[in-house]
A and B are shown apart, each in its own frame.
Chain A
């Protein structure tokens, strides 16, 4: 029981980090970046190459992976999304799905479909034993990382000038420009942050589930998107809560109901929550006054 809870929280923390990236980009740029999951995959491969082929030390591998993903995020935004800034959200959504397939197929060309064995990069602290159960090093690091990222993002968007400017841009691009905020630069930075987080998520995900394939990012990406919606998309604590809940739910469903049905159960939970509370668990109420 405790075992499942812990592995649920661990998986949930990965979902949470991915969901934070989704929510960040959605919250500021008001678009669903469905390629986010595939940026995670690229992050995984970047760290893998740096470690296996180049033999770099782990911290450097992680930094390299974050750098690659940050640049990738900015490039994707510039090439694919920026020209669509004034297009319908449907056009942007379809483009995002296109980018997602594009990244997967590029990865397929470069690294083929053979799974790569990912070296565990998140085991640099000792595991903790609680009676019969051991909490692995990777689990502890994943949970700590997700909490730090959540707190960091909350402080960043709440307290810093840049973060406040991001919230201003998310509400009204025109008015933000009138304040002297460079809207394009702000959106670029949002993508950079989201993609940098994706790299961390990629390393943690692959450390916990060490098979790396071009499709590695897609299912966790969709689950994390579900988590973000469950918690209330656009809300940072919501993404965290949604991620953890989803991870626990998935592990419990696998353990007590059926491994095959666990995904169905997870998505069913989303439907139920949205029926009861359409804005998600911690979704923002829209206050508007005319």
Chain B
């Protein structure tokens, strides 16, 4: 059995007095694609942001590579090999494509920069064509590619993707999912949050269903794809 890379235990997160995440536990093993699905406001992004250190949990434990991440500031977490490609892309609009990628490798030595950038360009040839442009001039799909490329620049062991297909045309959504599969094949473990549950479940090894801050269902991707309650709630019957 593969090693557990990320282990979340009994996590509770509050926004002020609002109890957003209510004691969830899940794990991601090395080499898996795991997806969290659920409706708007179920707590998917909150979970990822908490794991990445942007939000502080009130109680609970987060372990990455058997090391607790609770209390570790966000800017130190990426060094351990845990990258988050955030919801809404959040690329640096006034920085050029290349500068955005450089920022992704901020914690790594400069000597490895050129090679990593080439790798990202291989994966996303569009970015190479536009490396000098400021990110604000890219299309939505290109910005998503940039956000993913940027997260890859840190050479993560686990890449968390928050709604990578949000707001993209169907043909681009397919492309993004193909890229996720490629990333996975090349050895990156993936934790994917998606509203596009059908597509997410189709590529996932395992999945968790979140509902108002709790995990209500779990199973392999194909089990959940054929699960009646999941079909009704998230796959349109």
Measured as residues with beta carbon below 8 angstroms from the partner, the interface class of chain A is 20 to 34
Q: Which of A18-26, A76-84, A174-182 contacts B (4 or more CB under 8 A)?
A: A174-182
Our pick among A176, A181, A287 for the contact of B136 (Cβ within 8 Å) is: A287
The answer for the CA separation of A30 and B90 in the assembled complex, in Å, is: 18
Q: Could you tell me the distance between the alpha carbons of A287 and B140 in the complex, rounded to whole angstroms?
A: 13
- Given contacts A161-B110, A180-B107, A287-B134, A171 and B102 within 8 Å (CB-CB): no
A177 to chain B, nearest CB (A): 4
Contact B92 A167 (CB under 8 A): yes
Residues of A within 8 A of B102 (CB): 161, 164
Contact B103 A171 (CB under 8 A): no
Distance in angstroms from B62 CB to nearest chain A CB is 16
With contacts A168-B92, A168-B95 known, is A179 near B136, CB below 8 A?
Answer: no
Shortest A69–chain B CB gap in Å is 27
Within 8 A of A (CB), among B101-159: 102-104, 106-107, 110, 134, 136-140, 143, 150-151, 154
* Given A164-B102, A165-B106, A288-B136, residue A177 in contact with residue B53 (CB < 8 A): yes
A168 to B102: give the CA distance in the assembly, Å: 11
**Which residues in A have their C-beta under 8 angstroms from that of B136?**
287-289
Chain B contacts with A in 28-56, Cβ cutoff 8 A = 52-54
How many pairs, one residue from A and one from B, have CB atoms within 8 Å of each other in the complex? 83
What 0/1 readout, one digit per residue, does chain A (143-178) give for beta carbons within 8 Å of chain B? 000000000000000000100110110011011111
| Cα A194 to Cα B95 with chains together (Å) | 22
Beta-carbon contacts of B77-101 to A below 8 Å, as 1s and 0s?
0110001101000111111000100
Minimal beta-carbon separation of A2 from chain B (angstroms): 40
Partner of A164, one of B75, B91, B95: B95
| Contact partners of B90 in chain A: CB under 8 A | 172, 174-175
**Contact, CB under 8 Å: A175 / B92:** yes
Q: Are A289 and B150 in contact (CB under 8 A)?
A: no
Q: Are B106 and A289 in contact (CB under 8 A)?
A: no
A: residues with CB less than 8 A from B are 161, 164-165, 167-168, 171-172, 174-183, 284, 287-290
User: Is the CB–CB distance between B75 and A174 below 8 Å?
Assistant: no
**A-side contacts of B94, CB under 8 Å:** 167, 171, 284, 287
- With a cutoff of 8 Å between Cβ atoms, the chain A residues found around residue B104 in the complex are 179
Interface-central residue, A161, A168, A174, A178, by most chain B CB under 10 Å: A178
B185 within 8 A of A: no
* B38 CB → nearest A CB, Å: 22
Across the A-B interface, the 4 shortest Cβ-Cβ residue pairs: A287-B136, A180-B107, A177-B74, A175-B90
- 15 new A-B contacts, CB < 8 A, other than A167-B99, A178-B52, are A175-B90, A175-B92, A176-B75, A176-B103, A177-B74, A178-B84, A178-B151, A179-B107, A180-B107, A181-B106, A287-B136, A288-B136, A289-B138, A289-B139, A289-B143
* Chain A residue with the shortest CB-CB distance to B100: A168
In the complex, whether B76 has a CB less than 8 A from a CB of chain A is yes
A180 near B95 with CB under 8 A, answer: no
Are A179 and B103 in touch, CB under 8 angstroms?
Answer: yes
Cross-chain contact A182 with B75 (CB below 8 angstroms): yes
Which residues of the other chain, B, contact A172 by a CB distance below 8 angstroms?
90, 92
